[in-house]
Amino acid sequence: DAGITQSPRYKITETGRQVTLMCHQTWSHSYMFWYRQDLGHGLRLIYYSAAADITDKGEVPDGYVVSRSKTENFPLTLESATRSQTSVYFCASSEDRAYSGANVLTFGAGSRLTVL
Amino acid sequence: AQSVTQPDIHITVSEGASLELRCNYSYGATPYLFWYVQSPGQGLQLLLKYFSGDTLVQGIKGFEAEFKRSQSSFNLRKPSVHWSDAAEYFCAVHNFNKFYFGSGTKLNVKP
């Protein structure tokens, strides 16, 4: 199916465990993003990627690791989960229209992570 | 640094009433502006966008927004709200391939 898919949709884990959230898009969009959504904070950018093998930090990168070996995949890893990382995580993608600025973000359905 | 402010955390309107959700941004150049809507348990869906040109833009579901440079605002409006419009609404600014979001306004619709 075309679109952007996140997995798992729901995950419960324990403090100190490693967790990986997967994101897959079928449009060959250049840009991919990870956001977390918390009450009162809206969406905050964790990491983003401009292309395969190019990633950069967003507003709240601490405690997270990303990789992008293929254009279509952008996994987010919590190497040692903490309770403060309990959140809803959204993956998004957009085309590369840097010069026109006419990018539009398209979101996945989200992954709800609970860290006990 | 860019910032987006949505001053209203919650708004309640009666079905059929008009709606205006406020958004102010802080950005030096001409911004690219967006409104997204999030229904409960769902991802975010694009309502409308402003890149340039006419400052009044039309979106899906009967929404419109007006860009006012002098007020650094991009308020979202709808003339007659439907119960299905109950959701959370996010304003966003795009700059250098990053998007900055406001904290959201949750809309409740009374019957």
**What is the tens place of the pLDDT at every residue in B78-109?**
999 999 999 999 999 887 777 889 999 999 99
Does the structure show a pLDDT above 90 at B43? no
Per domain, the residue ranges of chain A are 4-96+105-115
* Rounded CA separation B57/B66 (Å): 6
* Rounded CA separation B63/B81 (Å): 10
* Rounded CA separation A60/A90 (Å): 14
- pLDDT reported for residue A112: 95
* Rounded CA separation A26/A73 (Å): 9
Sorting pLDDT into bands at 50, 70 and 90, what band is A110? very high
- pLDDT reported for residue B10: 95
Query: Structural domain of residue B8, as residue ranges?
Result: 3-110
Number of folded domains that form chain B? 1
- pLDDT reported for residue A108: 92
CATH number, residue B103: 2.60.40.10
Chain B residue at shortest CA distance from A46: B98
Sorting pLDDT into bands at 50, 70 and 90, what band is A96? low
Fold topology of A4-96+105-115: Immunoglobulin-like (2.60.40)
pLDDT tens per residue across span B14-37: 999 999 999 999 876 778 899 999
| Interface residue B49 vs chain A (CB under 8 A) | yes
Q: Which residues between 83 and 112 in chain A have a beta carbon less than 8 angstroms from any beta carbon of chain B?
A: 90, 92, 94, 96, 98, 100-110
Sorting pLDDT into bands at 50, 70 and 90, what band is A78? very high
Sorting pLDDT into bands at 50, 70 and 90, what band is A104? confident
- pLDDT reported for residue A35: 96
